[in-house]
Each structure stands twice: as structure tokens, then as C-alpha cells.
Chain A
């Protein structure tokens, strides 16, 4: 079917669906057919979030929930193309999945909350002291035990990092373009050639953090300030990228 006809057919189906009574027996079949017809859109969008630590199947599954919601909510009288309407909803479901499901280990709520408090105190103290605080300083500020401060760091790093707003491998500039300035520093690294494609496959923010930390020798706090994100976020990204590199280089 030519594309224009296909779109026209979609529109007819959607108009029929909107006109049908919620309990109508035809409704189920029509809805199922519409879902089926738009699964390629879900696959297309889910693939954009690949390589962020979640299986593609799971992303397709949550994306499909977004598609179903879109079909149920679509109002043909608004005059939008269905795909224009559905895309943000599908992407929204996928992003929500990353937000909700990516604690690699289930962290008790108490520790999650402690993590947030410690993170906040850490940022405030970093600002006040103009250096990274010690666990003792944080424990004093929050009136908690030093070991709880450490537990909070531990709990935070169990979070499986995914950067939702980063680019993907296709969109990111190739590292060949950005690496020039660091070539001297990298010269002595034997793995340089095998490292390059691995770093190039990371998103731009991961690349920046890795290079700032290890080739510009910036502290995590300095990088956090430069990128306008929390130090905890920098820490997670470093943890994740180093693990990825180590695994890729040793395999």
C-alpha cells in the first residue's frame, strides 16, 4: 500500500474507533489491528534507547503501552497525524521505564531517602567549604552516623546509570573529532586504538566526563559544576563507563 493510502487507512480506522461505543464488540478487533499496524513505530523509537543497559524487548514492551495509550486517547478531530501524537507518549513511557526500573538492586526506601539527603548535604557543604566534605562533616550536618553516610554512597552507586538526555551513538560526534587535544596524554596508552571506538560509542556526556576526569585531571565535583549536574550523577557515570571499558577491553 502506498504510504499516503496507508496513512489514509490509519485515519479511517482511528475515526471508526473514536466513533465506536466503548463496549462495542468491534472495538477490540479494530484496536488490536491499529496496535499491530503501529508496532514498527514502537520498535523504531525503542531502538533509539538501546545500549543504555536495558534489553530492547523490555523497551518495546513499555513503548507498546505508550502506543496503546495513544490509540485510546487519540482524537481525530484535533487534526494531528497519529504518529505525531503517539511519538511523545511512547518515548515518555520508555523514559519512565528508565526512571522507575533502573535501580540495579532494589534499594530500601530508607536508603534511597538517605541517599538524597546525603547528596544534598554534600553539595551544600562542597559549596560552603569550597572543597569536597568528609563523611564526618556530612554526618555532623545530618546528625547521622558516619557509616550511614557510606551506606548512602553505596546505595547510590547501585543505581544503574542511564543518561536519558544524552545523545545516542549515531548522533554523537565521533571521538575522532574531539580527541585531538588529548592525543599527547593518550600517546602512552597501549590500548589507545582499541579504546577509541569504545569511547566513541559512548554518548557525549559520558565521553566528556571520562576525558575531564582522566585526561584533564578534574575532580568529580569540578566536572559536576561544569556540566550542571550533581556530583553523584558524575560518580555513577564514571562507575558505569569504567566498568564498560574494563569489560570490553578484557573480552
Chain B
């Protein structure tokens, strides 16, 4: 099992860095090219939910590679809105990865968790 943490400002221009890191990490766990492309789009959408141009806070991203499963957790460090399950972004997100969940933790931070599994199509 490998764990990677990155933390980037909650600004739209950092989405490329997160997307790129996701693709490189995904290559460690036998995901197919199609899944990696989907994952990159999914990370884009998830990051977009947490972006806050008015704040100077960070988004913490944790990648966990466990065998053929990759989990990506994005945590906003400000009190963002919880993603709307009926929004287009969420519909897209759900279609792109095997599992997606969002919650608010005890500190009021929004957490979005994406899971992609090798050999299982989304």
C-alpha cells in the first residue's frame, strides 16, 4: 500500500497539477487507459466542487494505492457547500469512477472520495 499527500490552493489553476498527479498515481495500479482518462475527468469535477476563488485556503488530496484499487480523497479546508447530488457535476462524477461519496467531517470540511478499481468498469 502506498499513500501520497498533496495540498494545493483552492484555486482553479491548480486543477492541472492534481489531475496530472492522479494520472501518474493511477498508473501504479493497473487501471486501463480509459479508466485513467475517466479518472482525470472525475478529479476535475471533484476539484471544481471544492474550488473557492475568494478564499486563501488549501485543498488536501490523499491518494491511496492498495493493490488494484485507487482511492482519492479531496478535502476542502474551508466550509464549502456539500456537492448537490442532483447536479450535473455529480452525475458526471458518478459515471466516471466506481465509487464516489461526499461527506462533511466534524470540522465542517467537505470530503469527496473517489474510488477506481482495476478490472471493474465504472
Contacts and interface: CB of A to CB of B under 8 A. Distances in A.
B37 A153 contact: yes
B6 to A, nearest CB: 16
Contacts, number: 81
Interface SS majority for chain A: helix
A230 to B, nearest CB: 12
A195 B88 contact: yes
Interface string A176-206: 0000000000001111000100000000000
A249 interface: yes
Contact of B37 (A133, A146, A235): A235
Of the candidates A135, A149, A219, the one having the most CB atoms from chain B within 10 angstroms of its own CB is A135
A34 interface: no
A214 B38 contact: no
Contacts of A231: 33-34
Contacts of B45: 242, 246
Interface in B43-93: 44-45, 48, 84, 86-89, 91-92
Interface SS majority for chain B: helix
B31 interface: yes
Interface of B: 20, 23-24, 27, 30-38, 40-41, 44-45, 48, 84, 86-89, 91-92, 95, 118, 121
24 contacts: A122-B33, A133-B33, A134-B27, A135-B27, A135-B33, A135-B36, A136-B30, A138-B33, A150-B27, A153-B23, A153-B33, A153-B36, A189-B91, A190-B86, A191-B87, A214-B91, A219-B121, A231-B33, A238-B41, A239-B41, A239-B44, A242-B41, A246-B45, A250-B48
Given A157-B40, A250-B48, 10 more contacts: A134-B27, A134-B30, A135-B36, A154-B23, A191-B87, A217-B95, A221-B34, A242-B44, A242-B92, A246-B89
